[in-house]
Amino acid sequence: MFPGSEIYGGLANSWDYGPLGVELKNNIKAAWWKKFVLQRDDMVGLDAALIMNPKVWENSGHLENFSDPLVECKKCHHRFREDQLQEKKCPDCGGELLPAKQFNLMLKTFLGPVEDENAVVYLRPETAQAIFVDFKNVLQTSRKKLPFGIAQIGKAFRNEITPGNFIFRTREFEQMEIEYFVKPEDWQKAFEMWRQEMWSWMTDILGLKKENIFENDIAPGELAHYSKKTIDFEYKYPFGQKELYGMAYRTDFDLKRHYSEPPYEDADTKEKIYPHVIEPSLGVDRSFLAVLLDAYSEDGDRIILKLKPGLAPYKVAVSCIKKNDEKLVGKAKEIYQNLKKDFPSDFDNRGNIGKFYYSQDEIGTPYCVTVDFQTLEDNTVTIRHRDTASQERVQIEDLKNNISLR
Ligand code: GAP
């Protein structure tokens, strides 16, 4: 990852995903979509416009409530989130703090050529609202029955007072959100089902170690304006145990705010109701951060990124033992081109197998394939496994069968 706008001195806490970063990030999003949309019968997807009618934010309560308490130091004029301060004095200069003001976190812009009040719009602070606003359209086109959910991945923006800790808190980030609609009496069952699904996502798919994850039942006084119950899944980052994901019981708060009539009719009883909602809400960037931290390991002078093979930017890398031998290089390239048809692959032509292995270990490539003189005689290659550094000799035609992405 690179600091955003780096050659211009950067822009506070903006980060760019580089060539390998974008692959890992895309793989995280694809794994989430697969697990929670493609592999389930009770889920459908959505990709809605990011800028919405401002009435959405009025009715959702974000214009009124989506704010943090902001305090300013009388002396140095630095600004802080009051709820994150340990002391009543400025942490930068010890000066006195002015009384807190509520600071709305939504980023504003203007739509169209006239920059007046009527043209004000907001960059969405969560992807969730579009799911509520499109609820009836999705219902009519998908013909789903309760319980069912709608999933969306996309950017969200918040004018955070104190961004920081690398990509932990930024002003522009990505979310993967599910709104799961249930009959009101079924919310607890659904909440428990999604709690289990979150654990399965974090441990089976992302490969995070159980001992690094904690559940935090949010106290009633600290709940978001729409929530009756929230569990935060916290991760043990090097800078402390903090939120990774949130999961909320949003009741029928949002649908009631957007629809004057109940938007769902029970097919059997013909009763019209406002479904209740369970919302597992995940940050893509925080997932990326937790995956990197959890996968990082050292073995002597070897750095190994023990990524789940499904998440690794490259699944396999190919090299040969001599960089100037035309036959060897040609064979290695041929194998690489063939593997690339099925797996994201890398080719290393430096002719230094030790460095080849070390560099692929460091970026988490689960398999390395090496071509040597024996290959030219019997069509076998060495396949090496990242985590154990163990090697075996296999026929080229069997290579693909030896690559497991589980
Ligand atoms: N729709 C509910 C919602 O947005 P949230 O707890 O405010 O709930 C959900 O956000 C998730 O989005 C968080 O658990 C975190 O993973 C991610 N997130 C929120 N604010 C973020 C920020 N400023 N930078 C990076 N990720 C953020």
Ligand 1 and 227: CB distance under 6 A: no
CA 220 to chain centroid = 27
Ligand 1 and 230: CB distance under 6 A: no
Enter the tokens of residue 23. Answer: 């692959």
pLDDT over 70, % of the chain: 100
Phi-psi region of 174 (alpha: psi -120 to 50; beta: other; left: phi over 0): beta
The domains of the chain are located at: 2-65+122-294, 316-402
Average pLDDT for 58-82 = 93
Domain 316-402 part of CATH 3.90.700.10? no
Question: Taking the CA of residue 186 as centre, how many other CA atoms within 13 Å lie in the half-sphere pointing to its CB?
Answer: 15
2-65+122-294: what CATH class?
alpha beta
Reported as a single tens digit per residue, the pLDDT across 332-351 is 999 999 999 999 999 998 99
**Residue 86: per-residue pLDDT:** 86
Q: Could you give the CA distance from residue 197 to residue 231 in angstroms, rounded to a whole number? A: 13
Residue nearest ligand 1's atom 22 by CA: 169
| Span from the CA of 162 to the centroid of ligand 1 (angstroms) | 14
| Span from the CA of 270 to the centroid of ligand 1 (angstroms) | 37
Apex 147 CA angle, 145 and 150, nearest 5: 90
32 contacts 38 by C-beta, under 8 angstroms:
no
Enter the tokens of residue 275. Answer: 């479904």
- The pTM (predicted TM-score) of the whole model is 0.96
381 contacts 371 by C-beta, under 8 angstroms:
yes
**Residue 203: per-residue pLDDT:** 98
What are the DSSP calls for 47-83, one per residue? ---SB--HHHHHHTTHHHH-EEEEEEBTTT--EEEGG
Q: Could you give the CA distance from residue 106 to residue 125 in angstroms, rounded to a whole number? A: 6
Which residues share a beta bridge with 305? 296
Phi-psi region of 237 (alpha: psi -120 to 50; beta: other; left: phi over 0): beta
Picking from 4, 2, 14, the residue whose alpha carbon sits closest to that of residue 159 is 14
| Span from the CA of 402 to the centroid of ligand 1 (angstroms) | 39
Q: Which of 13, 229, 243 to mutate to test the pocket of ligand 1 (most atoms within 8 A of CB)?
A: 243
Residue found under tokens 């999705």? 138
**Residue 265: per-residue pLDDT:** 96
Q: What are the phi and psi torsion angles at 257 (to 5°)?
A: -70, -30
How far, in Å, are 174, 338, 350 from residue 353 at the CA level? 38, 21, 8
**Residue 87: per-residue pLDDT:** 87
Residue nearest ligand 1's atom 20 by CA: 169
Reported as a single tens digit per residue, the pLDDT across 151-165 is 999 999 999 998 999
Radius of gyration from C-alpha coordinates of the chain: 25
Residue nearest ligand 1's atom 16 by CA: 283
397 by Cβ neighbours in 10 Å (0-12 / 13-18 / 19+) ranks as exposed
What 3-state DSSP class applies to 227?
coil
Widest CA span in the chain:
80
pLDDT band (50, 70, 90) for residue 84: confident
Ligand 1 and 236: CB distance under 6 A: no
Ligand 1 and 129: CB distance under 6 A: no
214 contacts 243 by C-beta, under 8 angstroms:
no
Picking from 72, 101, 103, the residue whose alpha carbon sits closest to that of residue 89 is 72
For residues 368, 369, 371, 372, the Cα torsion angle rounded to the nearest 10 degrees is: 60
Average pLDDT, the chain: 96
Reported as a single tens digit per residue, the pLDDT across 39-56 is 999 999 999 999 999 999
Reported as a single tens digit per residue, the pLDDT across 251-309 is 999 999 999 999 999 989 999 999 999 999 999 999 999 999 999 999 999 999 999 99
- Give the length of the chain: 406
**Residue 166: per-residue pLDDT:** 96
Q: Which atom of ligand 1 is nearest to the CA of 286?
A: 16
What 3-state DSSP class applies to 111?
coil
- Own/partner long-range contacts of 234-237 (Cβ < 8 Å, ≥24 apart): 235/208, 235/286, 235/290, 235/293, 236/212, 237/165, 237/168, 237/289, 237/290, 237/293
| Span from the CA of 175 to the centroid of ligand 1 (angstroms) | 7
Average pLDDT for 124-139 = 98
Q: Could you give the CA distance from residue 292 to residue 149 in angstroms, rounded to a whole number? A: 29
**Residue 262: per-residue pLDDT:** 98
**Dihedral (CA of 351, 352, 357, 362) sign:** negative
Average pLDDT for 186-214 = 98
| Span from the CA of 281 to the centroid of ligand 1 (angstroms) | 7
Q: Could you give the CA distance from residue 55 to residue 63 in angstroms, rounded to a whole number? A: 9
Reported as a single tens digit per residue, the pLDDT across 21-45 is 999 999 999 999 999 999 999 999 9
Preceding omega of 147 cis (within 30 degrees of 0): yes
